[in-house]
Copies of this chain bind each other. A is one copy, B any other.
């Protein structure tokens, strides 16, 4: 189980997809600009996500990506594993080439831990992440709503004011 910035990008992109994909496919250009990840890098990540059927694609204009299944059925561990295409690589692969005794003992302790981390992330779905945050921010969004209605006008003024 590895957890690098690559996995973070993948999880972030999937969260973006879960948040915006309810009413049709989301194109990578939008995710790229919202999440500040280069388009080509996203393409690489989504190729791997698609191979694991975590997303499905729609080609042509108006196309993009959709979650491969419900957000409640997509777990963080699956996303991380998909982009890391984990070749296991725990040093002593599997169990056969371990030397006798001590060496293996510490190694197995690591494996135990790694399994625990994996199990933990296998219990966190996209839906659960979103729901938690939604509850926390729902009042804030309600407070902000009347301002968002006028943002198409004010954001131009804001942009000017920034210079």
Contacts and interface: CB of A to CB of B under 8 A. Distances in A.
Interface residues of A, number: 42
24 contacts: A2-B4, A2-B5, A3-B4, A3-B117, A12-B106, A12-B110, A15-B109, A19-B102, A19-B106, A34-B106, A35-B106, A35-B107, A36-B91, A100-B151, A101-B148, A105-B133, A105-B137, A108-B133, A109-B129, A112-B129, A112-B133, A113-B129, A117-B121, A120-B120
A122 interface: no
Interface string A100-132: 111101111110111011001100100001101
A136 B21 CA distance: 46
B110 A8 contact: yes
A16 interface: yes
A103 B133 contact: no
A66 interface: no
Contact of A105 (B1, B19, B107, B148): B19
Interface in A61-97: 76, 91
A150 interface: no
Contacts of A1: 3
Nearest to A155: B100
Given A2-B3, A12-B110, A117-B120, 18 more contacts: A3-B3, A3-B4, A4-B4, A11-B113, A12-B106, A12-B109, A19-B102, A19-B105, A35-B103, A35-B106, A36-B103, A101-B144, A101-B148, A108-B137, A112-B129, A112-B133, A113-B129, A116-B124
